[in-house]
């Protein structure tokens, strides 16, 4: 039996979110082999409830700031904020995945909200001078150490996984063993793809280093190359909803820390904000149910009118780049410049929306398809 000292037990309430997540994770892990494919959605809802429970338990941890578990974990305002953002993103990812488990929604072709606390600790603006040099040197040293350690252990794990894949497949998919041909194919394909685990772990580690040095574009560029049409990675709501939530949370962080005004993140993401807002308002004006799946977003209409996914993506990239450049230019300048830039951006985006609406109306008349 594992014995925990009294002082560690007294501080376990500071780890309430982790305890809740572990409990729900263990329950899901043990229930998974006994849940049929038709009822798989139950596990998703159980995970979503676990994430909500962890979010609720953050309140308990916030009431007892300090160190916990032999001083290994420090519970302060910043760690509470990180818990809210990360667990909230996980909850939204689970909620997005549930949409794809809805077989009726899939047959129809159906393809956040953050309340961040006031962050304390590290400043959110780039370092200057000697501090930046020291930060880069420290990051380089850390990356080299991570590369060495992770390459060793991930290499061992990868080789072991490839060698013992038949035994591992019995644990991962026990039902496959009943069909020898299916089991052999699963083993062969998993052996081919298993090294991806090592590569994606290394990519995530180095991306986190780049993000820590405020080099966000470099960390995202690799994924953008793989996701440009024809896309090789499709996230759907599982990825897009948490990313939108994190973008909103980071925008509020920068505003809260005085890095940029509140309009800055709204202007950067204006193409998506305007698309979603206008589409929602138009559907509400027609008396439609806003929560039902649809294909009426402006980017979806561009695809349906013949621009294709590549053409629609290029138009969105251009709009996003233009709005981001305008926001960077206006940030820190006089109020008159800011108002002029914001007004010009709204006029341009409004003109694009009107152009798409007119082309769509003509396309519907000529093709005779349902709007």
Look at residue 105 in the predicted model and tell me its pLDDT.
Answer: 45
> Whole-angstrom Cα distance, residue 316 to residue 271?
7
Question: pLDDT tens per residue, the chain (371 residues)?
Answer: 444 454 444 455 666 777 787 788 778 777 777 777 667 778 888 888 888 888 888 877 777 666 655 554 566 777 777 778 778 777 777 776 666 555 444 444 444 333 343 343 344 444 455 666 676 777 677 767 767 777 777 888 888 888 888 888 888 887 888 888 888 898 888 888 888 888 888 877 777 777 766 677 777 776 777 677 776 666 666 667 777 888 888 888 888 888 899 999 999 999 999 998 999 999 889 888 877 778 889 999 999 998 988 899 899 989 999 999 999 999 988 999 999 999 999 999 999 999 999 999 999 888 877 66
| DSSP annotation of 292 | S
Is the alpha carbon torsion for 143, 146, 148, 151 positive or negative? negative
The full set of domain ranges for the chain reads: 1-125, 127-213, 260-371
pLDDT at position 110 is: 41
DSSP string, 299-327: HHHHIIIIIHHHHHHHHHHHHHHHHHHHH
What pLDDT, on a 0 to 100 scale, did the predictor assign at position 20?
83
Name the 3-class secondary structure at 40.
helix
| Cα gap 28→47, rounded to integer Å | 7
CA-only gyration radius of the chain, Å: 24
pLDDT of residue 270: 94
Task: Give the count of alpha carbons within 13 A of 265, CB side only.
Answer: 17
d(CA 128, CA 272): 33
Find all residues with CB under 8 Å of 307, minimum gap 6, and list them. Answer: 315
Look-up of token digits 């904000």: 273
- pLDDT, residue 123, reads 42
């Amino acid at each position: 039996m594992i014995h925990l000292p009294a002082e560690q037990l007294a501080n376990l309430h500071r780890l309430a979110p982790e305890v809740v997540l572990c409990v729900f994770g263990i329950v899901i892990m043990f229930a998974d082999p006994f849940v049929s494919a038709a009822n798989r959605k139950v596990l998703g809802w159980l995970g979503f409830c676990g994430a909500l429970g962890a979010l609720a338990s953050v309140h308990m941890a916030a009431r007892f700031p300090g160190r916990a578990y032999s001083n290994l974990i420090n519970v302060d305002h910043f760690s509470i904020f990180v818990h809210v953002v990360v667990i909230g993103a996980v909850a939204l990812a689970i909620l997005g995945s549930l949409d794809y488990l809805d077989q009726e929604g899939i047959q129809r072709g159906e393809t956040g909200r953050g309340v961040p606390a006031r962050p304390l600790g590290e400043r959110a603006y780039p370092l200057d001078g000697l501090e930046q040099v020291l930060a880069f040197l420290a990051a380089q040293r850390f990356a080299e150490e991570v590369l060495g350690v992770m390459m060793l252990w991930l290499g061992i794990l990868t080789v072991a996984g490839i060698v013992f894949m038949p035994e591992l497949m019995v644990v991962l998919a026990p039902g496959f063993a009943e069909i020898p041909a299916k089991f052999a194919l699963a083993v062969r394909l998993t052996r081919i793809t298993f090294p991806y685990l090592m590569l994606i772990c290394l990519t995530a580690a180095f991306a986190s280093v780049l993000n820590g040095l405020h080099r966000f574009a470099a960390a995202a560029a690799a994924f953008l190359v793989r996701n440009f049409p024809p896309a090789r990675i499709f996230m759907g709501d599982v990825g897009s909803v948490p990313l939108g939530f994190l973008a909103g949370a980071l925008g509020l962080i920068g505003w809260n820390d005085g890095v940029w005004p509140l309009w800055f993140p709204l202007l950067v993401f204006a193409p998506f904000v305007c698309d979603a807002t206008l589409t929602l308002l138009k559907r509400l004006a027609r008396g439609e149910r806003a929560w039902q799946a649809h294909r009426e977003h402006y980017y979806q209409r561009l695809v349906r009118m013949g621009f294709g996914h590549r053409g629609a993506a290029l138009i969105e990239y251009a709009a996003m780049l233009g709005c981001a450049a305008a926001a960077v230019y206006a940030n820190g300048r006089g109020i008159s410049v800011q108002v002029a830039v914001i007004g010009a951006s709204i006029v341009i985006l409004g003109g694009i929306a009107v152009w798409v609406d007119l082309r769509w109306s003509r396309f519907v008349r000529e093709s005779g398809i349902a709007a």
